[in-house]
Amino acid sequence: MARLDGKTALVTGASRGVGALVAKALAAEGASLVLHARTPERCEAVRDAIRASGGKAAILAAELERPDQVEALGQALLAKGGVDILYNNAGVMAQWSETGAHQREEWLRNLQINLLAPVRLCELLVPAMRTRRWGRVVNVTTGMENQLELVPYSTAKAALDKYTRELAQAVIGDGVVVNLLDPGWLRTDLGGPEAPNAPESVLPGALVPVLYPDDGPFGTVVRAQEHRR
């Protein structure tokens, strides 16, 4: 029996990179996947790969830059009973600014996608986990620091870290375990071609916070590169 048999997992940004790898790994552990991307077509290859391996996967599309679509995504999942695992992986990188000065629109875009969207999904989906007395939330963070040129991204992630720690403490004793995942600097569309680590190096570390027992830990940062085989 796989470790996540009978569990349903939402992975945001599941069409490629870390999200696709995590989705396939969760499916291999027995979870039924809900794959998120901006359009359904982006996730079809991942869905087909999971199904070809004997797993279960469906697709729900939403543009996380639009609060109404984030709300619709959460409500659609609640209408089906919610999820057991929420993996907030989707994110965008800030535009590079040599001066460290970014347009207001860039700040708002980063704050909405990298902070407010995952927070709202937590607000919508965690209460049902608490009612069922089982759930796992993983919010993807960053180890980036001292990069004023990209500061809207790192600031949004820092705020997500704070929110995650607060949420983690609130659910202790409810069977819900909330943590952060730092994937490391990877050669993905987000990390760029100069990154030192292959995308595949995110595993098996990316599954560690999902597989924690009900007594935690809570609100910690799991660094995927420390779990490389």
pLDDT tens for residues 66-101?
999 999 999 999 999 999 999 999 999 999 999 889
| Whether 153 is catalytic | yes
| Total number of domains constituting the chain | 1
**Residue 47, domain member (yes or no):** yes
**Residue 91, domain member (yes or no):** yes
Residue 191 — very low, low, confident or very high, per pLDDT cuts 50/70/90?
A: confident
**Residue 126, domain member (yes or no):** yes
Task: Give yes or no for residue 133 having a pLDDT over 90.
Answer: yes
What percent of the chain lies above the pLDDT cut of 70? 100
**The one catalytic residue among 87, 153, 163, 212:** 153
**Residue 1, domain member (yes or no):** no
**Residue 160, domain member (yes or no):** yes
Residue 220: predicted pLDDT: 98
**Residue 2, domain member (yes or no):** no
Domain ranges, residue 94: 8-227
**Residue 130, domain member (yes or no):** yes
pLDDT tens for residues 137-165?
999 999 988 899 999 999 999 999 999 99
Closest alpha carbon to 22 in 138, 130, 114: 138
pLDDT tens for residues 39-57?
999 999 999 999 999 999 9
The CATH code of the domain that includes 86 is 3.40.50.720
pTM here is 0.96
What sign for the dihedral angle of Cα 94, 191, 100, 221? positive
